[in-house]
Amino acid sequence: MINFKLNRKIEMKESFSKVVSEIFVYNWDDSMLELDRLEDNLIQHLISRGNGVDAVREKVRLIRLYLQEPREAEDKKRLVLHKINELLMTISLPKNGQPLDSLRMIYDELRDDWAGFWSKPTEGTVSSITEDLDLMNTLELRFRNEPPDIYKQFREILVARGKCYTVLPLMSVIARGHTLGEQHRSNLFEVFSSLFIQTERLMAPHGFVFKTDEEDNGKDEPVITVKRPRGKLKGMVS
């Protein structure tokens, strides 16, 4: 199977920053050009994840319409920024629904950003990974409403996540073109591997059993899992 997933988050952030900057100085023509680039990158990012793009196209269409309207500059800026905020809400992590679904979205993005970093280490990819880690913490309140064993496992994920912050400076060193010693590289992989393993334990199919690493005594112990509703998950851009 061929994976056509594209990661355009760095390009999207650059275009978004330029769009907003041009709007704040009432440079409507240049903001339109940057909006075109932002839309192109958004569509590529979402389509490669199997997500619908109609809502995004409609929000961008409205932003473009307001940019073209002959209005008083300050009034136009206010209206356009309001529509841009609506666009951000459309592509952001859903605030409702199953917390495990939201965690899966974040986890998918984190794995992509992690792989992207080792393909092309940049400060931008380090920033994307940091944002993925930050998003995980936003789910804490929602997981409190889950059964105690689920919440306990999520707390293990957060502990592993916390350790990842300690090695982000090492990733920044790599992004600046420096070479790490073998011990530092091994530590970096070990820390993120722990986070991935803890997350996979919560993502395991309902009823799946495994033998723990710590206690291989012939007994199968169930992984902490939850029953998940059927249906396709909507994507998000962090």
Q: pLDDT tens digits, the chain, 238 residues: what are they?
A: 445 566 778 888 899 999 999 999 999 999 999 999 999 999 988 888 777 789 999 999 999 999 999 999 999 999 999 999 999 988 887 777 789 999 998 999 999 999 989 988 999 999 999 999 999 999 999 999 999 999 999 999 999 999 999 999 999 999 999 998 999 999 999 999 999 999 999 987 655 554 555 544 544 444 444 554 444 444 556 5
- Confidence (pTM): 0.75
Residue-level pLDDT at 228: 47
pLDDT of residue 6: 65
pLDDT at residue 215, as a whole number = 47
The residues near 16 (Cβ < 8 Å, ≥ 6 apart) are 38
* pLDDT for the residue numbered 213: 52
Question: Within the chain, how many helices (H) and strands (E) appear?
Answer: 10, 2
C-beta of residue 208 within 8 angstroms of C-beta of residue 225: yes
Q: Which two tokens stand for residue 25?
A: 């100085």
Cα separation of 204 and 222, whole Å? 10
Closest CA to 201 of 169, 168, 156: 156
pLDDT (0 to 100) of residue 188: 95
* 140-147 contact pairs (CB < 8 A, 24+): 142/99, 142/102, 143/99, 145/99, 146/99, 146/226, 147/226
Contact 197, 209 (CB under 8 A): no
Q: Is 45 exposed, middle or buried (0-12, 13-18, 19+ CB in 10 A)?
A: buried
What is the per-residue pLDDT across 182-207, written as a single tens digit (0 to 9) for each? 999 999 999 999 999 999 999 876 55
∠123-125-131 over CA atoms, to 5°? 105
φ, ψ (nearest 5 deg) of residue 210? -150, 165
Residues linked to residue 237 through DSSP beta bridges, in sequence order: none
> DSSP state, 93?
P
